Amino acid sequence: MSIEVNGKVLETDKEGYLLDLSQWEPAVAETMALADQQELTPEHWEVIRFLREFYAEFAMAPAVRILTRAIGKKFGKEKGNARYLYNLFPYGPGKQACRYAGLPKPSGCM
């Protein structure tokens, strides 16, 4: 499978995750979101950027419970819960946000 972003064809796996993480750019998230009819607000970008930073530091995507805890710590308590994240990303922060962020599926995500 593949998606087209800014005239470039990027390979993805069958679940839509980018195969080459280095090909990510913000337009990748926008293209994927558009296909899902998902609007991207600054709050979405907060999570997407956080995931990218987490991946850069630990070479893996965080499990949802680790993500909620860390988001709460960084962006305020009211954001540090699963409901907040599932409201932003109805398909699940792991499945949807990680995909938009150009990360592989989270470790420990079953």
Partner 1 sequence: MKIKKCLYVNRRAPYGTSYALEAIDMVLIGSVFDQDISLLFIDDGLFQLKKGQDTADVEIKNHSPAYRAFEMYDVEKIYVSKEAMAARGLKRADLLVDVEQLSDNRIKELMDEHDVIFSF
CB of 62 to partner 1, least distance (A): 7
Output 76 or 108, the one with its CB closest to partner 1. 108
DSSP string, 20-80: SGGG--HHHHHHHHHHTT----HHHHHHHHHHHHHHHHHSSPPPHHHHHHHHHHHH-GGGS
Q: Does residue 95 touch partner 1 according to CB under 8 A?
A: no
Q: What's the DSSP call for residue 6?
A: T
Name the amino acid, one letter, at 15: E
Quick check: is 109 catalytic? yes
Number of Cβ within 10 Å of residue 74's Cβ equals: 12
Distance CA 98, CA 110 (A): 14
Q: Does residue 78 touch partner 1 according to CB under 8 A?
A: no
Residue from 13, 65, 74, 90 that binds partner 1 (CB under 8 A)?
Answer: 65
Residue from 20, 58, 76, 91 that binds partner 1 (CB under 8 A)?
Answer: 58
Q: Which of 40, 63, 70, 109 is catalytic?
A: 109
CB of 63 to partner 1, least distance (A): 7
Q: Which positions touch partner 1 (CB under 8 A)?
A: 57-60, 62-63, 65-66, 69-70, 107-108, 110
